[in-house]
Every structure is written in structure tokens, then in C-alpha cells.
Amino acid sequence: MREAVIQATDNLRANRLRSVLTMFGILWGVIAVVVLAATGEGFQRGNQTVLEELGKNIAIVWGGRTTAQAGGARAGRQIFLTLADARAIAAESPLAAVVSPEINRSGLQVKSRYNAAALGVHGIEPQYQDIRTIDVERGRVFGWPDESQVRRVAIVGADAWQQLFGRREGLGETVHINGFPYTVVGKIRKKEQDSNYSGPDNDKVFVPFAAMARDFPRQGVPPGTLSQIIVAPTQDVVAGLERVLDARTGRIADIDWPLEKDVRRVLAKRHQFEPDDRDALSVWDTSLESLMFGRMIDTMRQFFSIVGVITLALGGIGVMNIMFVAVRERTREIGVRKALGATTAAIQRQFFLEGFFLTMLSGGIGFVLAIALCAAVNTLPMPQRFQGLIMTWQSGLIALFVLVLIGVVTSTYPARRASSLPPVEALRYEM
């Protein structure tokens, strides 16, 4: 092995330009494989982070209009969701892990000692805070005592906080919401949210559901009507979405997704509509967005991987070429070694190790440069939905495997050709 490394090093020094150009092909191929894989990972994590700013695999359920008669009830009826509906989904749907009712109203007058603003106010239960990513930066979250005792407490979004308090301390302050006094107990971190169903969380004030239902019930609808119900599916449901998508026989838009179907089953009995009436309820399932974007990222990763492997393979062809040149230039040397008793296996091992060493040296340099490039890019400001060039151990192993495979393939054939030269013909060879 030591002799092979010394010989390979001597060959590199003797043909510097050719060696550098050959090594550049492998080096650039490794950089391409690593950086492209890191790019795909950065897009996937960035998108998942943005989606989770709205919620962690949640479905938002609204009442719709029936399109068919059922149980003597006419078609075209408006479905109004209630707290009892949320409790029924939680109790009867095996696909729902967490269920939370929600009431929201926009444009309520919120006044602090320093300023006033017209803001959206949402009434929520404690379990809502986790599935909707209501991360409190300062203060505390709501607990069940706030709900059971119907406390007038509030958690304020980052931009709403700025409007009401500026840079002042707002915890413990009293704000008046349409005249009712509420004590501020928490501030939500600044959220980079690009999707919502009633405005960004940064602009909202959250209060306990029971207090919202008492002080600010919805207007123009039957008493007790919710704005929406938030449902978080079980992990098994999320994991099974890909199988449902793959098993479809028609358009994606025609798929009746399991969670939506089960929610309709539960509420159809309560509101007397057909369980297969998909217009009776409107459902936005963010886990489907994660699935579709994940599919897109997987396709992009496959394309990037193919491009990287092809680039690496072209570099391997360059290594094979330089090894063929080395075999030709050292034909007389091979003849002498064979005449002195060197075996075919020894000759083959020598040239194989030289080619493999050249490939691994180029790949090692490529890995170092790729890591440095990823680290340099990650110091720059990143756009939304992209978290930077993120290297994973899986992508590193794939790049290493491809590199070793190409090293073996590109070194074996020249080594076999060198070892198959007859000693007499090799000694007669002249450049």
C-alpha cells in the first residue's frame, strides 16, 4: 500500500496539469453530490418549518352547505358547528389525536394604556396552543384553570404587542377588548408565517375559549356557533397518507382523505346530512400540503442526485483515462517487473491502488471544500422556506458510497489491462 501511494504521488508530480484536471472532475463531482443533497434538505426543512408556523399537521374544519337531502332535511342547508361537535369528534373519531374549538372575531377594539388598535381576537382552549404552534416568548401559556374559571387573560402576538405597548413591558398590563378588561399574561414569538385562515398570528390576541364565548360570541349566527374546529390527526393517519395517494385511481382532487371522511361520519349524524356529502363541511388539511411538497422535494432530490452522480461519473472517466495513459507510459516497467518475477496479481494490485488512491484523494478534497462551501453559504441571510445547505449523514454516506464505487470501477479495468501485458511485448514497447 505504501508503495502504491508513493508511486501515485510520483505520477501526480510528473504530470501536474493532467493530474489536476483529472482530480478536478472527481472533486467537482463530490461537491455537486454533497451540495445538491444539502440544498434539497434545506428546502424540505425550511418548508416544514413554515408549514408548522400555522400548525403541526392540522386540519381546519368549517361548516359548509349540504348538497343532498338526508333524513327529511332539505339540501342547501348551512351547517353551523358547535362546541358539542368538537367534543363529539374528540370522543368518536379514532383518527383524531387532538381537537380544539375556536371562535374568532376581527376588528375588535383593543386598548392599552399607551395605544389602541383594531385586532383579531381568538378564543382557544389550552390544547390548541401546541398543535397551532402558539409559542410564548415571554410570560405563560393558557392552562385549564384559565378555561374552567373563565379568566380574562390574554396572550398577544408579536406585531399586536408592538402596536399596543411598543418596546415597553406589557406582561401584567390590562388591555380593554371592546370594553372588557383582560390581563396580558404572555407574548408570542415573532412568527414567519406565510399561510393562515384568519390573518397572521402576529396580529392577533388570544383569550380563553370560555371567556371568548361569554364576552365576544359570534354575531349573525345561531348562539354557540364556532368559527372553526381544529383537528390534529394521529401519527398513523399522517403516515398512511402516502399509501392513500399511491392507491388512487383518479385525480388527486377526487380522493376522500381518511380524516376528512371520518369527521364527516361523526358530524353527519349530528347535523342530518349524508356522510359522503363533501360540501357539507369544508376541510383544510395542512398534512396534505406537507405530503405534496415532500413529494416535490423527493423528485427534486432524485434529479439533483442524478446530476451529481453523472458529474462524479464523468470525473471517474477522467481517472480511468489517466490510468490508461499511466499504463502506456509504464509498459516497459511492467515488462521488467514481470521478467523479474512479479505476478499478474501484484501488477494488477499496484495499478488498482494507484487509481483508487487518486480517486479517494480527489474525493477527500471535494468533501472538505463542500463542507466549507455549505458553512459559508449558511452564514448568509436565508429566504423563507429555505434553511440553508444542510448536510446529513445519509447524504454523506451516499456520496462516499458512490465515490468508492466509481473508484473501484475506474481503477479495475486499467489495472487488468496492465496486468495482462505479455512480458516480452512489454519489454519491446517504445513510446
Q: Could you tell me which residues come within 8 angstroms of residue 407 by beta carbon, excluding any fewer than 6 positions away?
A: 316, 319, 355, 356, 359, 360, 363
Nearest to 359 by CA among 6, 1, 24: 24
Cα end-to-end span (Å), the chain: 28
What pLDDT, on a 0 to 100 scale, did the predictor assign at position 28?
Answer: 82
CA torsion, points 121, 225, 229, 250, in degrees to nearest 10?
A: -130
What pLDDT, on a 0 to 100 scale, did the predictor assign at position 153?
Answer: 97
Q: State how far the Cα of 152 lies from the Cα of 169, in Å rounded to an integer.
A: 19
What single-letter amino acid sits at 48? Q
Confirm if 154 and 175 have CB atoms less than 8 A apart: yes
What pLDDT, on a 0 to 100 scale, did the predictor assign at position 12?
Answer: 64
In what helix (H) or strand (E) does residue 82 lie, and over which residues does it extend?
none
What pLDDT, on a 0 to 100 scale, did the predictor assign at position 8?
Answer: 61
pLDDT digit string (tens) for the chain, length 431 residues: 666 567 666 766 766 776 777 778 788 888 888 888 888 888 888 877 877 888 888 999 999 998 877 555 677 789 999 999 999 999 999 999 999 999 999 999 999 999 999 999 999 999 999 999 999 999 999 999 999 999 999 999 999 999 999 989 999 999 999 999 999 999 999 998 888 888 999 999 999 999 999 999 999 999 999 999 999 999 999 999 989 998 888 888 888 899 999 999 999 999 988 899 999 999 999 988 888 888 888 888 788 878 877 887 877 777 777 777 777 776 777 777 777 777 777 777 777 777 777 778 888 888 899 899 999 999 888 887 788 888 877 777 777 787 778 777 777 776 676 667 666 665 555 54
- Tell me how crowded residue 324 is: count the other CB atoms within 10 A of its CB: 15
**Nearest 5°: CA angle at 301, between 299 and 307?**
105
Q: What share of the chain is helix, strand, coil (3-state, %, to 5)?
A: 55, 15, 30
pTM above 0.85, yes or no: no
> What's the length of the chain?
431
Cell of 359: 480517486
What pLDDT, on a 0 to 100 scale, did the predictor assign at position 113?
Answer: 93
Q: How far is CA 47 from CA 264, 284, 323, in A?
A: 29, 17, 45
Cell of 135: 409559542
